[in-house]
Amino acid sequence: MKNLSKEIVQRIEKISRPVKIMHVCGSHEHTIMQHGIRTLIPKEVEIVAGPGCPVCCVPSREVDECLYLAREGVTIATFGDMLRVPGTKGSLADAKADGADVRIVYGVNNAVEMAQNTDNEVVFMAAGFETTAPTTAAELVNGPPENFSVLSSHRLIPPALKFLIESGEVNLNALIEPGHVSTIIGTKPYEPFSEKYGIPQVVAGFNPFDVLIAIYMVLKQFKDGKAEVQNEYKRAVRKEGNIKAQELLEEVFYITSREWRGFPEIPNSVYEVKKEFSDYNAREKFDIEIGESKPLVTGCICGPILRGVARPEECKLFKTECNPMNPVGACMVSKEGTCNIAYRYGSFD
Ligand code: SF4
């Protein structure tokens, strides 16, 4: 195994060139940091992390919506990572400490079971990219109990990539695409980025060899004067993706424009529940009044980190006031967050 990684690194060195490659996946960042991949490859090949952590990307406004419902006596069910993500006036963990009924679940099915065993209203705060959105859709199609609804924070990766490319802020030259998301959407949605903007792309798996091979494949495209979508993760990703999951998404959700944490409104970047399922849409079911939402002023630079233009080490709070035990910002809360990963595995360099 050691010889294999050495050989891939040698091949990378042979065709190395100054390039900025962005990935948008917490699991990729985890692999890169855990295995010191940035230290193995030439310095001129820069790997930057983009908005790859679904919980981190949930903006204050959507946390505030949940906080409002929690404080109105609704039971909130969500993933553990969501509890400490800050809204305008605190987090769901704060609401729980104040007596609100906020519960951790491992999946939407647990939240449905919860609703089956209580008369109270149960709202599932549904964070996640295209990978997890089909499981939410499947529960709605199955007809959950009347006291169950969903507050959708499901987001789509390709519109965020389009936004980042067109903004020019991060100046990326190539993309390593997320394996998990791609199992659902396939490789076709990425094609316009190569065709229109000349960006080489490789869909990659999550072990260190996958990532090293993907870096090599990106560099090889530059060497060969190509810009296309290549699939390193063929053992899990097909060009057309998972059609059944796509049909479920299409049946239950429509796509709308909304802000992400660190981003303004990104066109067509969020899944919202269709009117045919509006009985299960918490935003339709309840009058949610939250007023103006804005991030807490803390010195946190999660926004630039999520856009790939800053690194955790550039934040004055990193490893001091902000750490996994006491996270100040969303990027330190989740194990998929860039700051949390950098805290656990050391600096980028
Ligand atoms: Fe925000 Fe903490 Fe990361 Fe700083 S270290 S950007 S405060 S999450």
Q: What is the mean pLDDT of each run of 10 residues along the chain (349 residues)?
A: 83 96 97 95 97 96 96 96 92 96 97 97 97 98 97 98 96 97 98 98 97 98 98 98 98 98 97 98 96 79 97 96 94 95 80
The pLDDT of residue 314 is 96
**Can you tell me which atom of ligand 1 is nearest the CA of 329?**
8
- Give tens-digit pLDDT for 23-44: 999 999 999 999 999 999 999 9
Structure tokens at 7: 């050989």
Looking at residue 31, its pLDDT comes to 97
CA 33 to ligand 1 centroid distance, Å: 17
Cβ atoms < 10 Å from Cβ of 83: 20
Task: Compute the chain's Rg from CA coordinates.
Answer: 20
Q: Where do the structural domains in the chain lie, given as residue ranges? A: 1-297, 302-344
Select from 3.40.605.10, 3.40.50.11750, 1.10.260.40, 3.40.50.150 the CATH code of 1-297: 3.40.50.11750
Pocket residue to mutate for ligand 1, from 298, 317, 341, most atoms within 8 A of Cβ: 317
Q: According to DSSP H, which parts of the chain are helical?
A: 2-14, 26-34, 37-40, 60-71, 92-97, 108-116, 133-141, 157-167, 179-185, 191-197, 208-223, 243-252, 282-285, 302-306, 330-333, 338-345
pLDDT of residue 347: 60
Q: What angle do CA 280, 286, 290 make, to 5 degrees?
A: 125
Q: What's the length of the chain?
A: 349
Tokens of 151: 């507050």
Complex prediction ipTM:
0.99
Atom 5 of ligand 1, nearest CA residue: 318
Given this model, what pLDDT does residue 1 score? 62
**What distance in angstroms lies between residue 92's CA and the mean position of ligand 1's atoms?**
18
Q: Is the CB of 33 under 6 A from ligand 1?
A: no
> What's residue 89's pLDDT?
84
Task: Decide whether any atom of ligand 1 lies within 6 Å of the 306 Cβ.
Answer: no
Asked if 270 and 154 count as a contact pair (C-beta separation under 8 A), the reply is yes
Nearest to 216 by CA among 48, 9, 42: 9
> What is the best residue among 81, 300, 320 to mutate for testing ligand 1's pocket, by most ligand atoms within 8 Å of CB?
300
Q: Is the CB of 315 under 6 A from ligand 1?
A: yes
Report the separation in Å between the CA atom of 8 and the middle of ligand 1, taken as the mean of its atom positions: 34
Nearest CA to ligand 1 atom 7: 300
Q: 141 near 252, Cβ under 8 Å?
A: yes
Total-model pTM: 0.95
Extract the tokens encoding 140: 């709605």
Angle at 108 between CA 122 and CA 105, to 5 degrees: 80
- Cβ of 68 closer than 6 Å to ligand 1, yes or no, is no
Can you tell me which atom of ligand 1 is nearest the CA of 305? 6
CB 267 within 8 A of CB 273: no
Q: Which pLDDT belongs to residue 4? A: 78
Counting ligand 1 atoms within 8 A of each CB, the residue from 297, 306, 307, 328 with the most, and so the one to mutate, is 328
